[in-house]
Amino acid sequence: MVNVISVKFKDTGRSYYFDPGDLEIKTGDTVIVESAGGLSIGTVSAGVHPVAEESIVKELKKVLRIASEKDFAKVEENRQKEKEAFAICERKISEHNLQMKLISVEYSFDAAKITFFFTAEGRVDFRDLVKDLVAQFHARIELHQIGVRDEARMLGGLGVCGRPYCCKQFLNDFEPVSIKMAKEQGLSLNPTKISGSCGRLMCCLKYEQDAYEELMKITPPIGSTVKHEGELGTVVDANLITGNLMVKPKREDGIPYKTNRKEVKIISRGKKKAETEEIEEKEEI
């Protein structure tokens, strides 16, 4: 086992292990560390704690010091420089007539590297732009093309729920989300109702999906044959949350009635019908 601390460089994002050395560091402290991109400032998300050596995949870098007032002043100075760099880069983009949208600019703590984040519909030849930026700032320049979800995370805003974007508040990674999740949760398949401000399916569709999948295992889907009080019937409607079913008896004069999944025995599940409907639905969308 080896003692480490976990450090985050952004409010959202992954934590990275660093060697605290002899420093007394606790959760919430701001520290200066040496990273792959040079000197960086980050927040301690977990104080000194032991981890298995196997979980450390790269050489463990040391914490240089706990941030001082001088370091915080340096960060504020960099924030001002980022605003100036943003305006300059936008002007250069216009001069080169490049089809790209600048989203954000980030200075490394020691100002040795400047990263420009942008979105574009396709690939962009920005070699001449980089040359101009290097000549302007005399620093290492990196341009990163990002997607619309990363753009939403950087800019922030309010979702349709009225709360700040999840990706801006607490999501560390973007997990895959599919239209199938919305269907299984009984949501409207209207893209405008299940899409976030970024134009992609809402990340929150993933939050309850595991629970819905467990309920689907014990709930007979529409089209299933079930046995209730000795009589066979077909499930014509099902509510995953409550477990309530509408069952139509197999006999010709059978009238659909309400029951619960706990009160029926599943004879056969209507998988084929459900899969066919799903394929047709996707084709329509």
Amino acid at 79: R
> What does the pLDDT profile of the chain (285 residues) look like in tens digits?
888 889 988 876 678 889 888 888 999 999 999 887 678 899 998 888 888 877 777 778 889 999 999 999 999 999 999 999 999 999 999 999 999 999 999 999 988 899 999 999 889 999 999 999 999 999 999 999 999 998 998 888 998 888 999 988 888 788 899 999 999 898 888 988 899 988 899 999 999 999 999 999 999 999 999 999 999 999 999 999 999 999 999 988 889 999 999 999 999 987 544 443 443 344 333
Cα-based distances in Å from 133 to 125, 145, 154: 14, 16, 22
Cα-based distances in Å from 93 to 17, 98, 128: 37, 6, 10
**Cβ pair 198, 171 in contact under 8 A:** no
Nearest to 39 by CA among 143, 104, 111: 111
**Cβ pair 62, 34 in contact under 8 A:** yes
Q: How far apart are CA 117 and CA 138, in angstroms?
A: 18
Tally: H helices and E strands in the chain:
8, 13
**Cβ pair 205, 48 in contact under 8 A:** no
- Report all structural domains of the chain as residue ranges with CATH numbers, in order of start: 2-67 (no CATH), 73-146 (3.30.300), 153-210 (no CATH), 219-284 (2.30.30.30)
**Cβ pair 151, 119 in contact under 8 A:** yes
**Cβ pair 83, 106 in contact under 8 A:** no
Number of Cβ within a 10 Å radius of residue 81: 15
Question: Which residues lie across from 257 on neighbouring strands?
Answer: 247
Residues in the chain, total: 285
How many Å is the Cα radius of gyration of the chain? 27
What is the Cβ-side half-sphere exposure of residue 42, based on CA atoms within 13 angstroms?
28
Reported pTM: 0.73
